[in-house]
Amino acid sequence: MSNENYDDNTHIYKDSENSIFSPNSNIVKCESSSLTTFIKELLQELYIILLNTMDIPQYDKLSKTINNFLLDYDLDPKDVFEIMTSSSQNIFCYSSLIGYFFQHGIGCEVNKAKALEIFSDAIKYIQKEETNQLSFDQKNEAIIFCDDTKKLNEIILQYFYSLFLYRDIISNRRDNYKLHIKNAEKGDIISQYYIANCYYFGVNIKHDYNKAFEWYAKSSKGGNMKAMYMLGTCYYYGYGGKKNKKQAFEYYLKSAEKGYKYAISKVGDCYHDGKGIFRDESKAFEWYLKTAKKGHAYNQYLVANYYYNGVHISKNEEKGFYWNRKAAINGNTDAQYRLAEYYLNNPIYKNENKAFKWYLKLVNKSYINLKAVYLVAKCYRDGIGTDKNLKEATKWIEKYISSKPSIKPPIILYDFLNGSNIDVNLFMDRIYYKNLHFVT
Between the alpha carbon of residue 184 and those of residues 82, 214, 237, the distances in Å are 49, 12, 25
Give the phi and the psi of residue 367 in degrees, each rounded to 5.
Answer: -105, 110
| Cα separation, 422 vs 397, whole angstroms | 10
Q: 305-326: per-residue pLDDT in tens?
A: 999 999 889 999 999 999 999 9
The predicted structure's pLDDT at residue 411: 62
Sign of the CA dihedral running 286, 287, 289, 293: positive
Judged against a pLDDT cut of 60, whether residue 232 lies above it is answered with: yes
> What are all long-range contacts of 381-389, with beta carbons under 8 Å and residues at least 24 apart?
381/416, 381/417, 381/419, 384/344, 384/352, 384/355, 384/356, 385/344, 385/352, 385/353, 385/354, 385/355, 385/356, 385/357, 386/353, 386/356
Using CA atoms, how far apart are residues 429 and 371, in angstroms rounded to an integer?
12
Residue 162 CA neighbour count, 13 Å, CB half = 11
Long-range contacts of 57-62 (CB under 8 A, 24+ apart): 59/159, 59/160, 59/163, 59/167, 60/104, 61/331, 62/100
77-84 vs 95-104: helix crossing angle, rounded to 10? 130
Confidence of residue 125 (pLDDT cuts 50, 70, 90): confident
* Phi and psi torsions of 228, nearest 5°: -60, -45
CB 195 within 8 A of CB 184: yes
What pLDDT score does 34 carry?
Answer: 78
At 196 the pLDDT is 96
**Cβ atoms of 303 and 272 closer than 8 Å:** no
Domains of the chain: 6-172 (no CATH), 186-279 (1.25.40.10), 282-331 (no CATH), 342-440 (no CATH)
- DSSP for 60-129? HHHHHHHHHHHHHTT--HHHHHHHHTSSHHHHHHTHHHHHHHHHHTSSS---HHHHHHHHHHHHHHHHHH
- Least confident residue range of 123-127, 255-259, 425-429: 425-429
What's the rounded Cα separation, in Å, for the pair 89 and 142?
6
pLDDT per residue as tens digits for the range 65-111? 999 999 999 999 999 999 999 988 889 889 999 999 999 999 999 99
Q: What is the pLDDT of residue 413?
A: 79
**Mean residue pLDDT across the chain:** 85
Largest CA distance in the chain: 76
In terms of C-beta distances under 8 Å and separation of at least 24 residues, what long-range contacts does 374-383 make, across chains too?
374/400, 374/422, 374/424, 375/340, 375/344, 375/424, 377/416, 378/421, 379/352, 379/355, 381/416, 381/417, 381/419
| Structure confidence at residue 56 (pLDDT) | 73
- What was the pLDDT predicted at 132? 58
Q: What is the pLDDT of residue 207?
A: 95
CA-CA distance, 9 to 102, in Å (whole number)? 12
Q: Using one digit for the tens of pLDDT, what is the confidence trace for 2-16?
A: 444 445 445 454 443
* Residue range 31-48, pLDDT digits in tens: 457 788 999 999 999 999
Which pLDDT tens digit goes with each residue over 333-360?
999 999 999 999 999 999 999 999 999 9
CA–CA dist 147, 151 (Å, integer): 9
DSSP run (H or E) holding 367: strand 367-369
Per residue in 275-302, pLDDT (tens digit) is 999 999 999 999 999 999 999 999 999 9
CA distances in angstroms from 333 to 179, 337, 370, listed in the order given: 39, 6, 12
CA distance 144 to 92: 12
